[in-house]
Amino acid sequence: MSSASFYKWRSKYGGMDAALLLEMTAIAEEIKRLKRM
């Protein structure tokens, strides 16, 4: 993983706890699924 990728990831997800991160990824997957319909 490059340092640029790490800092981009940290700026996006830095303040979140694990439960919030899992919920956000689940919502993103649901949106992707609905867009394919």
At 6-23, the pLDDT tens digits run: 888 888 777 777 788 788
Give the pLDDT confidence score for residue 17 in this predicted structure.
Answer: 77
- How far apart CA 13 and CA 24 sit, in angstroms, is 10
Average pLDDT of the chain to the nearest whole number: 86
What is the rounded average pLDDT of the residues 2-6?
A: 87
Give the pLDDT confidence score for residue 26 in this predicted structure.
Answer: 93
Whether residue 21 contacts residue 13, with contact meaning beta carbons closer than 8 Å, is answered with yes
Q: If DSSP codes are grouped into helix, strand and coil, which group holds residue 36?
A: helix
Residue type, 9: W
Q: Max alpha carbon distance in the chain (Å)?
A: 36
Q: What is the pTM of this model?
A: 0.53
